[in-house]
Amino acid sequence: MQHPYHPWRALRALAGWTLHWHDLGDPDILGRTDYDRRTVTLSPGMTQAQRRSTIAHEVAHVERGPVPGHMQAREEEAADATAAERLITSAALIEAARWARSVHELADELWVDEDTVECRLRNLTPDELTQLMEVWRDDARAHGH
């Protein structure tokens, strides 16, 4: 499957930003953007899909810019949604949904982590939701459900 968005190229295109690999001290934190130092830090030991998803998320932060502390939760959701939409095109999602039977299988086919798939599914447009429901309905009919 072709992936039109390349988060690593997007990071390289950000003038003056550097990438570091360093343990971030919390296994749940895979990446961090430091606006003052103009660095993106990624935690080592991630799978390729996790690295791809995390760098897309951090690039979204860089592009969006810093926000006040009280806006952090909303900013995380926005960066997640931006990364998910860039990494998972509507066409790719619909095609993968024709055979995938779980979020894990969708993530594997779409070359992203499961959190990114779940975020993309939460943020479908009405048209995308209709298309996805048609695929699943057709699949259920084909399997006698």
pLDDT at 138: 76
* Pairing state between β 39-42 and 31-34: antiparallel
CA distance 16 to 90: 32
pLDDT digits (tens, 9 = 90+) for 92-109: 999 999 989 899 999 999
71 DSSP assignment = G
Tokens encoding 51: 């690295």
pLDDT at 2: 55
pLDDT at 145: 55
Buried b (16+ CB within 10 A) or exposed e, 53-76: bbbbbbbbbbeeeeeeeeeeeebe
pLDDT at 131: 94
> For the chain, which residues score pLDDT lower than 50?
none
Encoded amino acid at 109, one letter: E
pLDDT digits (tens, 9 = 90+) for 119-135: 999 999 999 999 999 99
CA distance 46 to 44: 6
Query: What is the pTM for the complete model shown?
Result: 0.90
Tokens encoding 66: 């810093």
